[in-house]
Structure 1
Amino acid sequence: MASILPPIPRIVFTVFEPLSLLAGFLAPILDTSYFVSAQVPSRIPSIPLTATSQVLALQLGNVYGLLGMIGVGVLYFTSEAAVVKNFLLACAIADVGHLWATYHVIGHANFIDVKNWNQLAWGNIGVTAFLLLTRVLYLSGAFGRDRVVRSARKAL
């Protein structure tokens, strides 16, 4: 299990993030209408659920599920530091894109209005910003050095 990661990033990326991605996978499946309408604050006018928004929401949920499975596959089953770092760098870049997309649609005032965020805003902004910060801190070495994993096989 991501044995090279220091304790804090290991907990964040191998426990917290997969659970949050599972929630992102299940949310549009369990209540597509709410998932779509709650993406923006209620002050922003929205249109009724269309076939297009429904399929996009379900596809987004599928992408969350895929990202969760890729993350588990990479972080639980590799001891290669370069693979882990490149995966987390790619996730950090995607975090920036996710935050930008949310900011672009809901606007500056709603983006910073933390007291009025709904649970999806907390996921789209709060959790994403937390994961981005943790990724940047890990990649910059703020949590300490990666652990060296010794192979179970003896050198011949």
Structure 2
Amino acid sequence: MARIPFPYIAFFLWIEPVATLVGAYFAWFQSDTYLQLQHAASSPSPLALPTGTAVVLRQLGNMYFVFAFNEAFVLRATNDLKVWRAFLLGLLIADFGHLYSCYPLGLQSYYDFANWNAIDYGNYPFVVIGASTRILFLSGFGLGGKKRKSPKAKTPIKSSKPVTRRSHVE
């Protein structure tokens, strides 16, 4: 089993799951605030929240919870790099999907950090930090890599003394 470096442990087992639970809480229990922060101009009033929207937000909150739970507990259950890589590759793909899902908010929403609110910090820099950390992990950064053995000589070492044969003839 491999030893996972502390920065990866801290991010993947603590920081990201806690941040994801915050998103789950707001999507499930504070749906109106979640929608207002996402895009105030198109957000319905809390009293007029369509039932379908409420259901979708609870489903989203549930998915955030599952992501947080799986990341925190599945990765805690093993130090097997094969499992970590497979799991984190799936999350990396989800990171790109998350970033793309914000595209309808306009291209400027990705870089207009002067106007970002709390949810924008989760949608953009936090997702980019998570994706970057996953890319570093998947590329083997800080994991020590496999140590290569020097190739063994295939030709015997020659001695400076000549080899003589002895016979046991009496």
What TM-score comes out, normalization by structure 2 length? Answer: 0.77
Structure 2 unmatched ranges of 5 or more: 146-170
How many positions carry a matched residue from both structures? 141
Q: Give every structure 1 segment of 4 or more consecutive aligned residues whose post-TM-superposition deviation is greater than 4 Å.
A: none
> Partners in 2 of 1:3 and 1:46 — Cα distance?
48
The 2-side partners of 1:78 and 1:34 are apart by 37
**C-alpha displacement at 1:26, in angstroms?**
0.9
RMSD of aligned Cα (Å): 1.8
Q: Distance in 2 between matches of 1:16 and 1:137?
A: 17
The corresponding residue for 1:130 is 129
1:106-137 deviations in whole A, cap 9, x for unaligned? 11112210111110011111111110011001
**Structure number, greater radius of gyration:** 2
What is the CA distance between 1:81 and its match in structure 2? 1.2
Cα distance between partner residues in 2 of 1:12 and 1:132: 11
Task: Flag the 1:38–1:144 CA change in 2: closer, same or farther, 3 A.
Answer: same
How far 1:47 sits from its partner (Å)?
4.3
Cα shift at 1:29? 2.8
Match status 1:34 vs 2:33: yes
Task: Summarize the alignment of residues 11-90 of structure 1 with structure 2, pairs less than 5 Å apart.
Answer: 11-40=10-39, 42=40, 45-48=41-44, 49-90=49-90
Aligned identity (percent) is: 30
Corresponding residue number in structure 2 for 1:97: 97
| Equivalent residue letter for 2:115 | N
Inter-partner Cα distance in structure 2 for 1:88 and 1:28: 23
Q: Do the aligned residues in 2 keep the contact of 1:36 with 1:53 (CA within 8 Å)? A: no
User: Residue 27 of structure 1 contacts residue 61 of structure 1 at CA under 8 Å; is this kept in 2?
Assistant: yes
Structure number with greater CO (CA < 8 Å, separation at least 6) is 1
